[in-house]
Amino acid sequence: MSEAAPVNAFLERAITLLEKHLSWLSLLCFCIGIFWADQSSQFAVLISDLMEHFVDGYSYIAPLAIYLILTPTLLKLFSSKSKNKGFAIYTILWFAKARLLACLYAVVATVVIFDLPLYSGVDGFWTAVQTSMMSLLWMLTHSVYFYAVYISIATVLIVLRVPRIANTLAKGVDVVEYFGRWLIPIIPFMMLAVGAYVTILPSVLTEALSADVPIAELEQISLLGINFDISDSLGMILIYILGALLTGLVCGLWHAGLLIMARRKMASFSLRTYFSEYWIKVYPLLWATSSEALATPLNLYMVKKFCTTVHDEVRQFVVGTGSFLNINGTIINVFLMTGLVSAILGIEISMLQLLLSIPIVFLIAYGIPGIPGELLIFGAPMALCMNISPEVTPVFLALYLGLQIGLPDSFRTAANSTDECLCAIILNDHYHMAQTAPATLATTKEITSS
Of 252, 248, 228, 244, nearest in space to 195 by CA: 244
Q: Please check the confidence at residue 94 and state whether its pLDDT lies above 90.
A: yes
Rg of the chain over Cα atoms, rounded to whole angstroms, equals 23
Examine the pLDDT at 52 and tell me if it is beyond 60. yes
> What pLDDT score does 444 carry?
47
Q: Give me the phi and psi of 405, to 5 degrees please.
A: -85, 145
Average pLDDT of span 6-30: 73
Task: Report which of residues 136 and 353 the model is more confident about.
Answer: 353
Residue 373 pLDDT exceeds 70: no
Give φ, ψ of 368 to 5 degrees.
-95, 130
What is the rounded CA–CA span in Å between residue 405 and residue 240?
Answer: 10
pLDDT for residue 64: 73
| Per-residue pLDDT tens over the stretch 231-245 | 667 777 788 888 889
Most confident of 42-56, 86-100, 271-285, 397-411: 86-100
Q: Are 427 and 319 in contact (CB under 8 A)?
A: no
Residue 104 pLDDT more than 70?
yes
The pLDDT of residue 441 is: 44
Q: How far apart are CA 361 and CA 112, in angstroms?
A: 20
pLDDT band at 325 (very low <50, low <70, confident <90, very high): confident
**Structural domain boundaries in the chain:** 20-434
Query: Are the C-beta atoms of residues 416 and 302 closer than 8 Å to each other?
Result: no
**pLDDT given for residue 215 in this prediction:** 45
Res 333: pLDDT: 93
What confidence score (pLDDT) does residue 73 get? 64
Amino acid at 178: Y
Q: What tens digit of pLDDT does each residue of 390-442 get?
A: 878 888 887 887 778 777 888 888 888 899 999 999 999 888 777 665 544 44
> Which stretch, 10-14, 79-83, 232-236, 263-267, has highest mean pLDDT?
263-267
- Report residue 79's pLDDT band, with 50, 70 and 90 as the boundaries: low
Provide the pLDDT for residue 147: 80
- Of residues 405 and 294, more confidently modeled: 405
Q: Name the β-bridge partners of 228.
A: 221
Judged against a pLDDT cut of 80, whether residue 32 lies above it is answered with yes
Across the chain, mean pLDDT equals 76
Instruction: Read off the pLDDT of residues 130-152 as tens digits, 9 standing for 90 and up.
Output: 666 776 677 677 767 678 778 88
Query: pLDDT of 197-220, one tens digit each?
Result: 777 777 766 665 555 554 445 566
Q: HEC profile for 410-422?
A: HHHHHHHHHHHHH
pLDDT for 59: 62
Topology (CATH) of 20-434: Proton glutamate symport protein (1.10.3860)
- CA–CA dist 134, 143 (Å, integer): 13
- The answer on pLDDT for 279 being more than 80 is yes
Helix, strand, or coil (residue 221): strand
174: number of CA atoms within 13 Å, CB side?
Answer: 9
CA–CA distance, 231 with 446 (Å, rounded to integer): 79
Q: Is the pLDDT of residue 45 over 60?
A: yes
Q: Are 406 and 194 in contact (CB under 8 A)?
A: yes
pLDDT of residue 437: 56
**More confident site: 212 or 106:** 106
- In the structure, what pLDDT confidence band is assigned to residue 335 with cuts at 50, 70 and 90? very high
Task: Write down the pLDDT at residue 99.
Answer: 95
- Distance (Å, rounded) from C-alpha 412 to C-alpha 127? 35
Question: Do residues 404 and 333 lie in contact, with contact meaning Cβ atoms separated by under 8 Å?
Answer: yes
Output the pLDDT for position 108. Answer: 96
